[in-house]
């Protein structure tokens, strides 16, 4: 199972960007503790050091739904701003959302077509007399690159594959960024008042963590109980 998860400050102020960075750290700690594979696909840095506007992760595991039930929704941090010490606000909210319906581009070297040619120098003069330069085309996307850095055809082929992979990955990230813009409402709909997680203080202490898991367990018990009634 794979899921794209976005942690976002929405259009919140600098304090929310700081909370986003802190939540990412806490989120990744639990991801690792639950042996969930992850990859950071995209991150948008905040307006100050150690802050984030948003980050998007790809999670991979057999079972993700139960884990994500305790994360998806609004996250609250209770504390005084370290950026605006006289600010009266003490509760800051960010959101954790699932991005759905986006197909990842799979990069497979079998999908590459190679063409060799002579390397060219400035003015169009031949650098060498053998076909050492390599053009690589990723057939599914049509993206192409050209490598003539080395006098070795094999080395140029390796460079072409590496550059093409970066280019195709960049194409995927652009699609993701467009999807993020299309779903900007997620950023605006960070729900206030019923957070799934609450942290407090500059040490970002977890509050009511056991209560959160207990709540989820009780919900699952009630669902099982309802299922038994339905069977009867």
Q: What is the pLDDT of residues 47-81, one digit of tens each?
A: 999 999 989 888 998 889 889 999 998 899 988 88
Do 88 and 184 lie in a common domain? yes
Helices (H), strands (E): how many in the chain? 5, 10
* 231 belongs to a structural domain: no
- Report whether pLDDT(230) > 60: no
- Report whether pLDDT(5) > 50: yes
Average pLDDT over residues 145-162: 91
pLDDT at 182: 60
H or E element in which residue 23 lies? helix 14-33
pLDDT bin (cut points 50, 70, 90) of residue 212 is very low
What are the DSSP E strand ranges found in 9-121? 37-45, 52-60, 73-78, 91-99, 112-117
* 130 belongs to a structural domain: yes
Do 93 and 190 lie in a common domain? yes
- Report whether pLDDT(36) > 90: yes
Do 96 and 163 lie in a common domain? no
pLDDT at 63: 83
Taking a C-beta distance cutoff of 8 angstroms, is the pair 157, 109 a contact?
no
Q: What is the CATH number of the domain that holds 152?
A: 3.30.160.20
Average pLDDT over residues 37-49: 89
Q: Which of 2-16, 71-85, 116-130 has the lowest mean pLDDT?
A: 116-130
171 against 192, higher pLDDT: 171
pLDDT at 194: 79
218 against 60, higher pLDDT: 60
Do 78 and 189 lie in a common domain? yes
Do 32 and 86 lie in a common domain? yes
* Average confidence score pLDDT of the chain: 79
Show the CA angle centred on residue 63, arms to residues 28 and 69, nearest 5°. Answer: 65
Q: What is the pLDDT of residues 86-110, one digit of tens each?
A: 778 888 899 898 877 555 667 888 9
| Domains in the chain, number | 2
The residues, any chain, with a CB within 8 Å of residue 54's CB and separated by 6 or more, are: 6, 7, 8, 9, 20, 42, 43, 44, 180, 187
């Amino acid at each position: 199972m794979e899921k794209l998860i976005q942690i976002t400050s929405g259009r919140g102020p600098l304090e929310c960007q700081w909370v986003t960075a802190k939540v990412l750290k806490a989120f990744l700690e639990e991801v690792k503790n639950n042996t969930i594979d992850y990859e950071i696909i995209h991150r948008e840095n905040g307006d100050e050091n150690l802050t984030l506007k948003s980050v998007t992760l790809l999670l991979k595991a057999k079972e993700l739904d139960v884990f994500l039930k305790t994360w998806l929704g609004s996250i609250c941090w209770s504390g005084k701003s370290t950026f605006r010490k006289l600010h009266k606000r003490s509760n800051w909210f960010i959101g954790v959302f699932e991005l759905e319906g986006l197909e990842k581009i799979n990069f497979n070297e079998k999908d590459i077509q190679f063409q060799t040619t002579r390397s060219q120098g400035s003015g169009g003069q031949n650098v060498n007399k053998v076909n050492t330069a390599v053009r690589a085309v990723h057939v599914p996307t049509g993206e192409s690159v050209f490598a003539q850095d080395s006098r070795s055809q094999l080395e140029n082929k390796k460079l072409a594959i590496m550059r093409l992979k970066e280019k195709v990955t960049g194409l995927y990230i652009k699609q993701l960024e467009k999807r993020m813009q299309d779903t900007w409402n997620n950023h605006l709909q960070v729900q206030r008042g019923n957070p799934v997680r609450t942290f407090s203080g500059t040490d970002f202490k977890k509050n009511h963590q056991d209560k959160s898991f207990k709540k989820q367990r009780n919900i699952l018990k009630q669902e099982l109980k309802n299922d038994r009634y339905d069977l009867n």
